[in-house]
């Protein structure tokens, strides 16, 4: 065997051994790495097959042996470029699906079948025979149509992988750029060597690519061991950034939009890359049809905003503005939108249940005391009149006993609705308990409150409850009391006096109004 051929085989075997060791090294430590390590092992295994099959091909002495090892060579060489592309796509944060894998690997599989069955169709090699001048293992070959298709596809995979790596250079932190350099050169070295081979600048009848693949494997090994490739991947941030549910907009120090995530684009469909580099406050009306309600200078701030930016239903967002700092200097802002529509709706439901009577849909006792306490305190402070009215449905127990509790509930709802129709929005009307209601009328004297009470009594008396089968008269007894400015009276004492007036109204025959008077 010529010394020149021996050198070729030695270099190729060196590449095969290096890639085999690299594959074994990653396999041994795969529990320390992310899932990308598995794809990398398959990728390096295909290169190992390519290298060793090339070496055995150069040691062959007959055409049959050469054809066998050529077919074996293509089980690695045909698949390694698309596998390398898949590896880089996963490294850069692209989602690797079964469909994408099949789409990239179907053509190499066809190539393998074409090479194995070339003697029958000659689509890959039009001529494949031992070189008449150099002899075995050198092969004289004339490429066929499928060889061209396969060559273009192989070069395209490596070139696209290289471009993908370069496209992420600027957004990669300096500490992670050694990873990017190693991966980029891992694709560039075989791509350039293959190009040199195709234009005829290499030794005749010898494929130089497997001879230099040891360099790529060394670059990968250095990156794995020194810059924590597979353990810390810089592009994991993209996956995290785009997978979180909160919408995020990143502004630079001049408040220009420089980045946004997928969640933000779903929240604000008009947001697109044409807005990048534009002033945020000028672009915001295009996103939400209103001016931005907060000052960007007020960083580290949290507020709520209600928008209908993403559809017909209004959405409520919690907006947080945070500074991006670097050595005590502001480098930009993060605006984070958290959709709290469902949470706000639940909060409103809970508040409604806490402060509204479930049956009559008016305020309950708790809500009455919470709001009337403030009104009462304000009236005492300003020396303004303040009166309360207690209302009780007459003979309510008789209604329940005669018609049933279902009709009794209808009577309560009817009485509340009729009374509420006669009141102003600012007048505090609530269910006090059972068949009893309470009304706080701030700014009204007892005589004015008595007029309000009489209006309610008269209106309800003239509007009986009409059901499908019967008409049920409903009347009220009402007690009125005014806050005493001269004493330090509490709201509870005032209600107690109104209750005494209500009792007096019942004693007087019901369906009447009674104003509390001191004995």
Q: Which two tokens stand for residue 62?
A: 């007959």
DSSP string computed for 241-299: HHHSSSEEEEE-TTSBEEEE-HHHHHH-TT--GGGTTSBHHHHHHHHHSS---S-TTS-
* pLDDT (tens digit per residue) in 413-431: 999 999 999 998 888 999 9
Report which of 201, 252, 207 is spatially closest to residue 9, judged by C-alpha positions. 207
In the numeric block, the tokens 């025959």 are attached to 509
Residue 19 confidence (pLDDT): 92
pLDDT confidence bin for 327, thresholds 50/70/90: very low
Q: Are 210 and 16 in contact, with CB atoms under 8 Å apart? A: yes
Q: Which two tokens stand for residue 469?
A: 């089968």
Residue 514 clears pLDDT 90, i.e. is over it? yes
Mean pLDDT of 172-190: 80
Residue 328 confidence (pLDDT): 46
pLDDT confidence bin for 234, thresholds 50/70/90: low
Mean pLDDT of 387-410: 94
**Cis omega before residue 137 (within 30°)?**
yes
Residue 372 confidence (pLDDT): 93
Mean pLDDT of 230-259: 74
- Over pLDDT 90: what percentage of the chain? 49
Domains and CATH numbers, the chain: 3-235 (1.20.1070.10), 244-340 (3.30.450.20), 356-515 (3.30.70.270)
**pLDDT higher for 299 or 506?**
506
Mean pLDDT of 20-43: 85
Q: Which residues does 517 contact at the CB level (< 8 Å), separation at least 6? A: none
Residue 307 clears pLDDT 80, i.e. is over it? no
Mean pLDDT of 268-275: 84
pTM summary value = 0.52
Residue 322 clears pLDDT 80, i.e. is over it? yes
Mean pLDDT of 232-250: 70
The secondary structure of residue 356, as a DSSP letter, is B
Residues 196 and 212: their CA atoms lie apart, in Å, by 13
Arithmetic mean of pLDDT over the chain:
87
């Amino acid at each position: 065997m010529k010394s020149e051929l021996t050198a070729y085989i030695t270099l190729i075997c060196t590449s095969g051994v290096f890639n085999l060791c690299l594959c074994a090294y990653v396999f041994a430590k795969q529990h320390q790495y992310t899932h990308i390590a598995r794809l990398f092992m398959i990728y390096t295994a295909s290169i190992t097959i390519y290298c060793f099959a090339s070496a055995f091909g150069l040691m062959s002495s007959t055409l049959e042996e050469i054809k066998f090892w050529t077919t074996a060579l293509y089980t690695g060489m045909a698949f390694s470029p698309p596998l390398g592309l898949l590896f880089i796509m996963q490294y850069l944060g692209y989602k690797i699906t079964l469909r994408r894998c099949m789409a990239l690997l179907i053509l190499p599989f066809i190539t393998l079948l074409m090479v194995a069955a070339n003697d029958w169709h000659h689509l890959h090699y039009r001529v494949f025979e031992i070189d008449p001048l150099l002899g075995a293992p050198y092969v004289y070959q004339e490429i066929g149509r499928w060889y061209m298709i396969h060559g273009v596809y192989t070069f395209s995979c490596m070139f696209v992988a290289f471009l993908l790596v370069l496209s992420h250079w600027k957004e990669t932190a300096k500490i992670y750029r050694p990873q990017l350099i190693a991966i980029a050169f891992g694709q560039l070295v075989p791509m350039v060597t293959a190009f040199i081979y195709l234009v005829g600048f290499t030794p005749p009848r010898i494929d130089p690519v497997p001879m230099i693949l040891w360099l790529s494997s060394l670059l990968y090994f250095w990156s794995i061991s020194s810059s924590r490739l597979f353990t810390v991947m810089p592009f994991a941030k993209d996956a995290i950034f785009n997978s979180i549910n909160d919408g995020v907009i990143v502004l630079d120090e001049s408040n220009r939009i420089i980045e946004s995530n997928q969640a933000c684009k779903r929240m604000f469909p008009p947001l697109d890359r044409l807005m990048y580099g534009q002033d945020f406050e000028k672009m915001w009306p295009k996103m939400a049809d209103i001016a931005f309600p907060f000052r960007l200078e007020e960083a580290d701030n949290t507020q709520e905003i209600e928008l209908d930016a993403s559809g017909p239903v209004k959405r409520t967002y919690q907006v947080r503005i945070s500074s991006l700092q670097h050595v005590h200097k502001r480098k930009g802002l993060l605006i984070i939108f958290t959709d709290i529509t469902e949470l706000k709706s639940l909060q409103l439901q809970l508040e409604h249940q806490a402060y509204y009577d479930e049956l009559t849909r008016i305020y309950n006792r708790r809500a009455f005391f919470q709001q009337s306490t403030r009104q009462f305190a304000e009236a005492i402070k300003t020396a303004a009149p303040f009166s309360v009215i207690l209302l009780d449905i007459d003979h309510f127990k008789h209604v329940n006993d005669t018609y049933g509790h279902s009709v009794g509930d209808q009577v309560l709802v009817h009485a509340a609705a009729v009374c509420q129709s006669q009141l102003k929005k600012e007048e505090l009307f609530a269910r006090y308990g059972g068949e009893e209601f309470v009304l706080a009328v701030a700014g009204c004297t007892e005589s004015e409150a008595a007029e309000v009470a009489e209006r309610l009594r008269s209106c309800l008396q003239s509007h009986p409850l009409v059901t499908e089968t019967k008409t049920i008269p409903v009347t009220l007894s009402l007690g009125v009391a005014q806050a005493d400015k001269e004493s330090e009276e509490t709201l509870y004492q005032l209600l107690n006096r109104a209750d005494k007036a209500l009792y007096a109204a019942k004693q007087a025959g019901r369906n009447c109004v009674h104003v509390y008077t001191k004995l």
